[in-house]
Structure 1
Amino acid sequence: MGGKYSYWLEQAFFQKNSQLFEDKNYKRFIKEMIHTNLECVRINLNMEGKVWSCCPKNWKSFSSSCYFFSTDAKSWNSSQENCSRMAAHLVVINSKEEQDFLTQNMDKTAAYFVGLSDPEGQGHWQWVDQTPYNQSATFWHPGEPSHSEEHCVIVNHPSISLQWGWNVILCKDRHRSVCEMMKIYL
C-alpha cells in the first residue's frame, strides 16, 4: 500500500469521525500518537465498529502485532530503548509460526536481539513484557543457552547451522533487533 492509500485512509477516518475532534480524550490520543503514517487493511471482525487493522508505515504485520526490523546495530539495552521510543518493545516470540514469520523477514548474515534475557545469569529467562517463559516454545540452537556470562538472546542463522535459532550473547554486543507492538485498530 502506498502513501496515497494511507493519506486517503487518514482523511476518511478523520472526516468520518470529525465530531471526535472536540472530544478531549481523542485530542489526547492524537497528541500522544507517535506513529502518524499508518498502513491499514480492512478487516471483517466486528470489534465495536473498528474495521481497519493498521501498522506503522515500514513495519510488517503478523497476527495481532506489528514488527519493525532494525538495520543498525546496538546493544540489547539500546535496542530496547529504541523500541520503547516507538511505543513498542523487543519482540516476544510465542509460537513457531511467529518465529518462522520473523526469520522469513531477517537477513541471514545478521543477528537480531529479541526481548528475552537472564539478567541475573541464573537461568531464569524472562521476556520484556513479562510473558511467562515457556520452555516448550523455545528455539535454542543445540547446546544453548551455553555461557553464564551471556545474558541476552539473539536470533541468528550461523553458517554451521541449517536453520535459524536462538543464541545467548553478551548484552553489550551490538546487533540488529526486532521491535513489536500491538496492531492499531480504527
Structure 2
Amino acid sequence: MAAEITYAELRFKAESSGPNTDNPAAPEGKPTPQRSNLSLPKMLVSLLIFLLLAIIFCIAFIIFFQKYSQLLKEKKTLKESTQKHTELECKRSNSSRKDKVWSCCPKNWTSFSSYCYFYPTGAKSWAESAERCSGMDAHLVVITSKEEQDFITENMNIKTAYYVGLSDPQGQRHWQWVDQTPYNESATFWHPNEPSDKDEHCVMLNYRPLLQQWGWNDARCELLQGSVCEMVNIYL
C-alpha cells in the first residue's frame, strides 16, 4: 500500500515537472519593416519650387522695372518738349471777326496766314514727331499751298529733312493728312519720281541740291528726322 502511494506521488511529480506553462516564452515577433525616408525628396522638391518661383519673380520684377523706367523717360521727354504757351506774340488781326482783335502765336513760333509753326530740335521718328507736336497742342505740318511751303522752308536747314503730317498708314498709297484734310493731288509738291518706294509710308520735306529746291520725299517712318509742328492762330 505504501509502495503504491509512493509510485503515484512520483508519477505525479514527473508529470508536473513538464514544461512550465505558467511563464511561456514570448513568441518571436516578426521584424518591423523599415519605412523609406520620404522627407528628403519632399524637401528637395519644395526647394526647387521655391527657387523657380524666386527666379520668375526676379524676371517679372526686372521686366516691370525696365518698362516703368522707359515710361518715366518718355514722360520726362514729352514734358520737356511740351511748351505751356504762357507767352504769346500777337499782332492785330485781319480777321473779319469783330470780337477777336489780336492774332497770336506762342513765343518762338512763326506765323503765316492763320497758322503758327514751330521747328523742334532733335531728330525723331515720324510717330515720335507727331506725338511731340501733339504735346504742344499742335500737329505735324499740313501743307496745302506752294506759298505755305515756301514760307516754311525759309526757316529750314538745307542739310536736314523734316517730317510733315502726311503718311500712308495702310501701305496702299492712300496718303492721309494728320488733321483729316483731304489729300489734293493738285496741291502736292513731290520731288521728281517720288513717291518711289511702296515700303516707305511717311513723308518728309527735304532739299535736293541738284534741283535746288525743296520737295516731298517718301521715307521709312522709323528714320530719325527733324519735323515741323503747326497749330491754328490763337485769337484774342
TM over 0.5: yes
- The correspondence for 1:53, drawn from 103, 106, 128, is 103
- Return the offset for 1:46: 4.3
Aligned to 1:114: 164
**Percent of residue pairs identical:** 65
CA distance in 2, matches of 1:53, 1:36: 15
Task: From the CA coordinates, give the structure whose radius of gyration is larger.
Answer: 2
Higher strand share: 1
Give structure 1 regions of 4+ aligned residues with deviation exceeding 6 angstroms.
none
CA distance in 2, matches of 1:94, 1:42: 24
Higher helix share: 2
Task: Give runs of aligned pairs for residues 25-104 of structure 1, distance below 5 A.
Answer: 34-104=84-154
The one-letter code matched in structure 1 to 2:92 is R
Q: Does residue 149 of the first structure (1) align with residue 208 of the second (2)?
A: no
The one-letter code matched in structure 1 to 2:165 is G
Aligned length: 154
- Return the offset for 1:70: 1.9
Unmatched 5+ stretches in structure 2: 1-82
CA distance in 2, matches of 1:38, 1:125: 34
Summarize the Cα distance change of 1:44–1:181 in structure 2 as closer, same or farther, 3 Å threshold.
Answer: closer
Equivalent position SS for 1:47: coil
Q: Scaled by the length of structure 1, what TM-score is found?
A: 0.80
- Return the offset for 1:71: 2.4
- Return the offset for 1:148: 0.7
The one-letter code matched in structure 2 to 1:88 is A
Q: Scaled by the length of structure 2, what TM-score is found?
A: 0.63
CA distance in 2, matches of 1:114, 1:47: 30
Kept in 2: contact 1:67–1:181 (CA 8 A): yes
Q: Does residue 183 of the first structure (1) align with residue 202 of the second (2)?
A: no
Bigger relative contact order (CA 8 A; separation at least 6): 1
- Aligned-residue RMSD, C-alpha: 1.3
Unmatched 5+ stretches in structure 1: 1-32
CA distance in 1, matches of 2:96, 2:88: 21
Summarize the Cα distance change of 1:44–1:121 in structure 2 as closer, same or farther, 3 Å threshold.
Answer: closer
